[in-house]
């Protein structure tokens, strides 16, 4: 189907009402430029950058809430839920957090005192807007046998900083659902490290309620079987799953080609089939997947326009640069209409 009997494009949030929430990452620009798409199709938002440490707490004595407040206000106005992203990360975190007065690395006690103040303030402020937090983002190493990623957090506090962050978040808002969030989550070796980490947190009684699968995927990788296996493994921990940052890059990770002004027909065809496959899997696991969030709204803006190849455009979403539904959109919508 191309439109319903009244010539209307179905709303993603209605199509998936019996399955999971449909979310989008937003920023102050896309909140305006994509306001119509957001209000129509989505029932959850995440701040792409505006709640990250460096943005919301740039100096020890300074919090900057204006942008995050605006996003939270939009969610409230449109009756949407909001995911909080993110409290502890090795990127987009200001240097002052890790430094002691007079210079040099802060000690563990100072780092924890600052983290506690940050979490109390930020989580406390958005208590009535944010229903879940990505408490720790990307703390697991991609390659090699080492579990934790090298970072200032690890250097100063050891692996314990992960549990501490969850404890502080739980104290600040006992009702918030708390997530561990990571990318390359479907890669078997990294998946097992994430499972080991999360299982040990649970076993120690750390308040963790879910695993966030970022799902920054490509046309061919990761393979569907790896996605399925990852969902099964994380679900077996007895936690909720959120797909937190979904996009389907038209370039494989190591493809550096940068000459395209528009996607090729082959790319769009592969993307259509890929989205069909991905959402078939999500629907199959609707009992454990509570929320599917795209890391953007439409192809006119995506973080992938700059990453990992500078200045190269990408077209990873269900809506095109003119905010029209792509063939991928119809595959996702029509797939949900079939009997299962
Ligand atoms: C994500 N990292 C982050 O969680 C999100 O906050 C950011 O806006 C975009 C992507 C994904 C990632 C990375 O940080 C490093 C290498 C690959 C992917």
What pLDDT tens digit does each residue of the chain (340 aa) get? 556 656 689 999 999 999 999 999 999 999 999 999 999 999 999 999 999 999 999 999 999 999 999 999 999 999 999 999 999 999 999 999 999 999 999 999 999 999 999 999 999 999 999 999 999 999 999 999 899 999 999 999 999 999 999 999 999 999 999 999 999 999 999 999 999 999 999 999 999 999 999 999 999 999 999 999 999 999 999 999 999 999 999 999 899 998 899 999 999 999 999 999 999 999 999 999 999 999 999 999 999 998 999 989 999 999 999 999 999 999 999 999 865 6
Q: What is the pTM of this model?
A: 0.97
Tokens of 176: 């918030």
Report how far residue 67's alpha carbon sits from residue 58's, in angstroms, rounded to the nearest whole number: 13
Contact in structure between 105 and 187 (CB atoms under 8 Å): no
What's the CA gap between 106 and 199, in Å, rounded? 30
Pocket test for ligand 1, best of 91, 179, 242, 304 (most atoms within 8 A of CB): 91
pLDDT, position 306: 87
Q: Determine the pLDDT at residue 311.
A: 87
Ligand 1 within 6 A of CB of 216: yes
List the structure tokens of 22: 């449909």
Q: Atom 11 of ligand 1 has which residue's CA nearest to it?
A: 183
- Ligand 1, atom 2, residue with closest C-alpha: 183
State in Å: Cα 334 to ligand 1 middle: 30
Q: Find out whether 147 and 103 touch, Cβ atoms under 8 Å.
A: no
Contact 314, 302 (CB under 8 A): yes
pLDDT at position 339: 54
Ligand 1 atom with least separation from CA of 137: 4
Opening angle at CA 24, ends 18 and 28, nearest 5: 145
Pocket lining: 187 vs ligand 1, CB cutoff 6 Å: no
Structure confidence at residue 6 (pLDDT): 65
Distance CA 75, CA 304 (A): 24
User: Closest Cα to atom 13, ligand 1: which residue?
Assistant: 183
From the CB of 54, is ligand 1 less than 6 Å away? no
**What atom of ligand 1 comes closest to residue 244's alpha carbon?**
4
Active site residues: 138, 245
Residue 185 DSSP code? T
The pLDDT of residue 8: 85
Give me 46's structure tokens.
């995440």
Question: What's the gap in Å between 337 CA and the centre of ligand 1?
Answer: 32
Q: What is the 3-state secondary structure (H, E, C) of 123-162?
A: HHHCCCCEEEEEEEECCECCCCCCCECCCHHHHHHCCHHH
């Amino acid at each position: 189907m191309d439109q319903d009997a009244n010539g209307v494009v179905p709303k993603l949030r209605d199509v998936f009402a019996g399955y999971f929430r449909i979310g989008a990452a937003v920023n102050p620009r896309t909140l305006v430029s994509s306001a119509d798409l957001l209000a129509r199709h989505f029932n959850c938002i995440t701040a792409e950058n505006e709640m990250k440490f460096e943005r919301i707490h740039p100096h020890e004595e300074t919090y900057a809430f204006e942008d995050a407040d605006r996003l939270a206000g939009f969610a409230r106005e449109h009756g949407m839920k909001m995911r909080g992203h993110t409290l502890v990360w090795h990127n987009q975190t200001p240097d002052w957090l890790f430094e002691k007065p007079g210079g040099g690395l802060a000690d563990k006690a100072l780092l924890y005192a600052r983290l506690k103040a940050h979490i109390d303030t930020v989580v406390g402020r958005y208590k009535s807007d944010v229903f879940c937090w990505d408490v720790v983002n990307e703390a697991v190493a991609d390659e090699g046998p080492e579990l934790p990623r090298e970072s200032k957090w690890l250097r100063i506090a050891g692996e314990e900083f992960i549990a501490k962050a969850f404890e502080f978040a739980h104290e600040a808002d006992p009702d918030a659902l708390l997530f561990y969030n990571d990318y390359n989550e479907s890669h078997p070796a990294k998946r097992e490290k994430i499972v080991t980490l999360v299982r040990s947190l649970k076993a120690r009684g750390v308040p963790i309620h879910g695993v966030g699968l970022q799902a920054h995927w490509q046309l061919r990788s990761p393979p569907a079987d790896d996605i399925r296996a990852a969902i099964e493994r994380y679900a077996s921990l007895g936690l909720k799953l959120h797909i937190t940052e979904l996009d389907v890059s038209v370039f494989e990770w190591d493809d550096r080609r940068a000459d395209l002004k528009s996607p090729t027909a082959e790319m769009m065809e592969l993307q259509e089939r890929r989205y069909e496959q991905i959402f078939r899997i999500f629907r199959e696991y609707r009992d454990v997947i509570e929320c599917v969030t795209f890391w953007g709204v439409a192809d006119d803006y995506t973080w992938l326009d700059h990453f990992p190849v500078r200045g190269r455009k990408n077209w990873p979403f269900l809506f095109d640069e003119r905010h029209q539904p792509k063939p991928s959109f119809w595959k996702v919508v029509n797939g949900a209409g079939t009997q299962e």
